Structure 1
Amino acid sequence: MSRPFTTEDLRRWEAHAVPAWVYKGVLVVGWAVAFGYSITTTTGCTSATPCYPDPWLSVFAAALLATPFLLWREPVVGCALGAGFGLAEVLSESHEGIRLAFGLHGLACALVALWLVEARREQHRVFGRISTPTVVPHAAPVRFTGRTVAALLMLVVGGLALVKYVVDSSDLAEHAAAAVPVSATVVAVGDLDVTVELPSSRQTFAVLAPESYSVGMSVPVLVDGSWAELVAEPEDVTFPLTVMSLTLGMAVFLRMRDVAGRRAWQRVRSTPSASVEVLVRADPRGRAVLHTVDGTPFGSIPVTGAFDDDRMLAVGDLSYGGWVVLVTADRVLLPNRPLRPFHRVLPRFDDPGEELLGVALETPPLPFPVPPHRRDVVAGRWLFAAAVFLTAGAATLNGPVVLTALWTAGTCAVAGWVRGRPSAVFHQHHAAVRSWLRTYHVPWSEVTSIRRDGDRLVLELDSGARFTLAPSGRPVAELGAIARRLHDTAPHGDELTSRFGGALPVVAIFALVAGAVLWFT
């Protein structure tokens, strides 16, 4: 019988963990400072010292863009990428300030990476002292190959990006070899471009340093028929290398994760492995949240298949970043990723809270939108403002940073829409409950419980479905009384259905806006 994992064991085990604010806060802020400094630092480009495109910088830019995301999701990998990019900048960057900024950030990432690795070893040692060897006799569970398929698709995209770079660079080299130098006159200087007058035409070029140009200035230009480029700033066709690096890196990451999960299962099958008994509960997204046997949450992992809340054996490498297999009396739950910290207390569905039995004397005019809480309305407006600001900023930028800005803007737009809109609309015979991408038609006749969960109203159906509304500007008891009256007067015979809705229109509109920005930039 395996030893129960108690709160006292957790205290000793977590004493070696790296605080999340170190990599999610300090390192991410440091990355933002270094990145912001690098893109706002002006670099003069002249015909004597041209700003040549750097293919290797485009390759390493993938590591730069992925670093903040991975610091949140996979801190060891994120620290490794941050350290690697910092080293590359120290060795290749000519600007002293940029070299110093990324060098210091890379050094910090390297130190935190070592700290994370050592913390995991210490947690593994503590786990080894309190665990019991266990052999898992069950047959291998079914594994999905979604990650492998995604990795193959990423390889295809990366290969196509490489082909595009080779074709574009070859075409550019042919033009440059056949071109003749001519003198052109600058007739207009924009925020990120200049327009020059050639002997036979007028052309506009995107530039990195518009402050290096002035109207009336004479600049050398290479011309080959209708093709032309500035001598000081040759055309940059290296962006496909960034796409290639991102997709190939993601393909390798997905494949390595799939292999690591399989090996974790093979280890616990082939040899006795360390194990402890933990309480496992499902969070709203279906992930397995590991608790001590006395109920303290400490980690989460998504697993293959659904499960019931119960005590299970945690077998394998119980450490943050380690692979943990969950074993019950009759089945095995294989992890889809390593264990991550999780300390939020889950709602107790076996403790449903206060049942709201009050009935409103009359209903408000229908349909009745459940008003969102004021803090959500304010947050939604700020998120929309951030989305507009980021989209406008993306329209003035070039290169990989445009994708990062648009992705962040889209996330802000969708989150702002969801938070600022009513989470449900009460109708005479049903409630229309909105989620991110769907709207659910919830018949009042199917509702079996109307209760309070903190500042939220919860509707439970006879089928077992549960809908939790977002906090509202109206008291929960008042909303419950309205819902109770509509429930008592609703006819029978309707059923639960759903359709696409929610924030889907915002997603579609923003996709068009993002496409337009990418097209024109």
Structure 2
Amino acid sequence: MSKTSIPIPSGSVSEDVPAWLSADAAAWTGARPGPWARPFWSVLALLATVVAAIATEPVPVCSEAAPCGPDWIGMVQMGLAIGLLYWQARLPELALVAAPVLAVIVAWEEFPSAGWASLAANVAVIAALGFGWATAWARLAARQRQRRLVERTARSEHRRVELAKPLTRGAIPISAGLALCAVAVGAIVLGLHAVHADEGQATRATRTEAEVTGRTDMSLRVRTLDGRRITVDAFFPEDYSLGTTVAVLEDEGWRRLAAEPYDAFGWQLLALAGGLPGLSLLTTGLLARRRGAALHHGPVPALRVLERLDHEGMTRVYAVDDAAGSTPLFACTCIPVFPDGDEREELGAETADVHAADDTDDVPITETRLHEAVMLGAPYEGAELASITTGTDGTPMVTRTIGSVRLPGPAKGPAEEASADSAGSAPSLA
């Protein structure tokens, strides 16, 4: 493979744009959070402690003094715990808010009635939440450090990215997120309405004492004091021993146990199924839109770099003095920004051997030479970037990222260039 990079056409960018050298790139790489802040550890800690807390939680017995009604706080607890398993890995902004909320709920709800085993498990849950919060904070702080380092390297050189058409970044996830959140809100409203209707029915019902004479998986057979034998639905029939007395509420064909009010579990499950992905999509879309707007609506740092499109369609970025392209700093998926339809068709024909058609598997990506480029924006985990680079025929081309910026693993960076050269290939990005 030729190691001669394809230059940017003369006049397409100013000559005074600073270069991103390996020394500056090494400082940028070193600003990443430590291995302890990898999402894997916080997710594993939360999953293990939540499972332990569920296993040791005392099971309440339904009674008239403590009826088994809908548990809305429990729904929130479950939703936040499930959501945090994803948010700690992909959305530290959301984890930074959700972790303290869940910790407060756990302490408020679980501590007063917990036994020693359950108390220890819930303390471990709060510790895991604190660890997850610290990792999210470390990752966000690392992004700030990396942005400042890039801005310092770029000095006063900032450029504005011209939009070919209105900004649409994040529109699809925002729309989908709003729709799913609307489903979740509707499920909560309908669940509350069903609970209210059940309470009204119970208020009008006649209370009857009855003896338990038999049980099935989902009901009790009881005999009332006046000799009637009836069957009543039960969520927890195992809680009622044969021969015990239970209270049954009856009202014109409607019947239930006094200790088991209407359980809105179905509506709660629908609320979680819609609310968790809805909130995640909405947050992802808003973050993408904010980052895209910051990239296109204001001056951004500009640095000279080298780029290479690999055989998987990923653009790998290198320091300017890494002429061999041995140590990628990060990777991202980029698409051309076309000013109009005519130029889109023209540039699409020019770069057909680089950007394979989406619906064709037979067109290989053959261009893997290094290209000189000007990177616009500050790279970090999840950043939005643009670049001024060259097509395969040497004509200038503006590209922008789609999807997240992928950073190398903790052991990869410019300092490992020598070992990468001896291996004969570029290190993989995690």
TM-score using structure 2 length: 0.66
2:222 to 197, 221, 228: 197
| CA shift for structure 1 position 245 | 5.5
Identity rate, percent: 18
Are the aligned partners of 2:184 and 2:272 in contact in 1 as well (CA < 8 Å)?
Answer: yes
2:201 to 146, 156, 175: 175
Partner of residue 52, structure 2: 37
1:12 and 2:12 aligned: no
| CA shift for structure 1 position 68 | 1.0
Cα distance in 2, alignment partners of residues 292 and 262 from structure 1: 28
Partner of residue 315, structure 1: 376
1:128 and 2:145 aligned: no
Partner of residue 235, structure 1: 262
Q: How many residues align?
A: 342
Are the aligned partners of 2:161 and 2:386 in contact in 1 as well (CA < 8 Å)?
Answer: no
Deviations 1:159-195 (A, max 9, x none): 43234324422332233222333334163375xx564
Partner of residue 52, structure 1: 69
* Equivalent residue runs for 1:332-481 within 5 Å: 332-343=398-409
1:188 to 189, 211, 215: 215
**Structure 2 vs 1, CA of residues 262 and 321 (structure 1 numbering), >3 Å: closer, same or farther?**
closer
Are the aligned partners of 2:249 and 2:256 in contact in 1 as well (CA < 8 Å)?
Answer: yes
Greater Cα offset, 279-288 or 172-181? 279-288
* Equivalent residue runs for 1:51-130 within 5 Å: 51-93=68-110, 94-96=112-114, 97=119, 99-130=122-153
Cα distance in 2, alignment partners of residues 216 and 284 from structure 1: 74
1:276 and 2:276 aligned: no
Q: CA-atom RMSD, angstroms?
A: 3.6
Greater Cα offset, 95-104 or 242-251? 242-251
**Structure 2 vs 1, CA of residues 219 and 63 (structure 1 numbering), >3 Å: closer, same or farther?**
same
Cα distance in 2, alignment partners of residues 177 and 226 from structure 1: 15
Q: Which amino acid aligns with 2:154?
A: S
Query: For 2:32, what is the secondary structure of its paired residue?
Result: coil
Query: For 1:123, what is the secondary structure of its paired residue?
Result: helix
Cα distance in 2, alignment partners of residues 124 and 34 from structure 1: 35
**Structure 2 vs 1, CA of residues 159 and 194 (structure 1 numbering), >3 Å: closer, same or farther?**
same
Query: For 2:73, what is the secondary structure of its paired residue?
Result: helix
Are the aligned partners of 1:189 and 1:215 in contact in 2 as well (CA < 8 Å)?
Answer: no
TM-score using structure 1 length: 0.56
More relative contact order, 1 or 2 (CA 8 Å, 6+ apart): 2
Q: Which amino acid aligns with 1:84?
A: V
Q: Which amino acid aligns with 1:14?
A: T
**Structure 2 vs 1, CA of residues 313 and 196 (structure 1 numbering), >3 Å: closer, same or farther?**
farther
Deviations 1:179-225 (A, max 9, x none): 333334163375xx564435442244223x94x44444433343445
Segments of 5+ residues of structure 2 without an aligned counterpart are 1-15, 337-353, 356-366, 391-395, 413-430
Partner of residue 508, structure 1: none
**Structure 2 vs 1, CA of residues 114 and 22 (structure 1 numbering), >3 Å: closer, same or farther?**
closer
Are the aligned partners of 1:62 and 1:242 in contact in 2 as well (CA < 8 Å)?
Answer: no
| CA shift for structure 1 position 285 | 6.6
**Structure 2 vs 1, CA of residues 205 and 335 (structure 1 numbering), >3 Å: closer, same or farther?**
farther
Query: For 1:206, what is the secondary structure of its paired residue?
Result: coil
Cα distance in 1, alignment partners of residues 240 and 310 from structure 2: 58
Partner of residue 349, structure 1: none
Cα distance in 2, alignment partners of residues 28 and 220 from structure 1: 45
1:325 and 2:370 aligned: no
